[in-house]
Amino acid sequence: DLRSLRCSAMLKLDQAEKFKEFEEIFFPYNMDFRGRAYPVPPHLSNVGSDLCRGVLKFAEAKPLGPRGLYWLKVHLANFAGKDKMSFDDRVKFVDDNLEQVRLSAEDPFAGERWWMSLEDPFQGLATCLEIIDAIDCGNPESFLCSLPVHMDGSCNGLQHYAALGRDSVGGKAVNLCAYDEPQDVYVGVMHEVVRRVAAEAERQLDFDTSDLESLSRKQKKELSYNRAAKLVNGLIDRGVVKRTVMTSVYGVTYIGARQQIQEKIISK
């Protein structure tokens, strides 16, 4: 509820207020059995909420260089939900909205508050501030930037398999190959599942289904598949397949995968 959200936000801001006096702060980490590292602090950390990530910067700044401002703009466009566009189109989106970016940076609580419309508003505001500072310095390439710019993986498990196997088809699906438009392996799987489910739902069975007792085991299985396809036809979307595709490379069982899909479809 709003009260718990407010308490959580105040804890994060309180810690940030205390730590801002230090030139550097460090986060202790724990590691799980898979080798994944997680920060120990429960409230303020670099993998926390949008608010946490929006107030944290690297202690050591680096010059943006010839492409740094470009990637800052890509970073901001991602917060505006433009992450399916090509990188150049994302940069163009920010350039087209540069006036709003400047207004957000110079007075966040005045005007239209464009930054508040972003999916991650606090990180978006931090990026607006960094972009405007870089532009206004006169030489963006030499601007010292300390803002983290996230580069998210695309189904990391499949990325590793595609790379190890030198799989060009799989590599394209998980963005290991250079293409203008970002690829989405979950959408690719979804389209194939939708095609197969629709084909099965439309298929006419070549046996009488009125007397179940007279059907062979194979026919009962066919009938079960056909009825299931008719039930879920039109309900399959990216969300239905994503979790199962992602966990298929981490050892999910057949029963576990079935439960994942069932939960998603029932929720519809």
CATH at 55: 1.10.287.280
Shared-domain flag, residues 199 and 130: no
Same domain membership, residue 71 and residue 128: yes
Containing domain of residue 201, as a range? 184-267
The reply to whether 130 and 191 lie within a common domain is no
Q: Is residue 40 part of a domain?
A: no
Looking at 145, 170, 194, the residue that finishes a domain is 145
- 112 and 191 inside one domain: no
In-domain check, residue 214: yes
Domain for residue 230, yes or no?
Answer: yes
Dump strand ranges (E) for 64-156: 144-145
Confidence at residue 146, expressed as pLDDT on a 0 to 100 scale:
96
CA distance 232 to 228: 6
pLDDT of residue 262: 92
The answer, as to whether pTM is greater than 0.85, is no
Q: d(Cα 115, Cα 101) in Å, to the nearest integer?
A: 7
Do 54 and 137 lie in one domain? The reply is: yes
Tokens of 103: 């207004």
How far apart CA 176 and CA 43 sit, in angstroms, is: 34
User: 36 lies in a domain?
Assistant: no
Residues 199 and 138 in one domain: no
Domain count, the chain: 2
- Is 169 contained in some domain? no
C-alpha span between 191 and 157 (Å, rounded): 21
pLDDT at residue 249, rounded to an integer = 85
Rounded to 5°, the CA angle 100-101-102 comes to 90
Task: Walk along the chain (268 residues) and give the pLDDT tens digit of each residue.
Answer: 789 999 999 999 999 999 999 999 999 999 988 788 999 999 999 999 999 999 999 999 999 999 999 999 999 999 999 988 999 999 999 999 999 999 999 999 988 899 999 999 999 999 999 999 999 999 999 999 999 998 888 888 899 999 999 999 999 999 998 887 889 999 999 999 999 999 999 999 989 888 888 999 999 999 999 999 999 999 999 999 999 999 988 889 999 999 999 999 988 7
Identify whether 18 is part of a domain.
no
The C-alpha atoms of residue 206 and residue 261 are separated, in whole angstroms, by 29
Give domain status of residue 59, yes or no.
Answer: yes
- Give the per-residue pLDDT at 174: 93
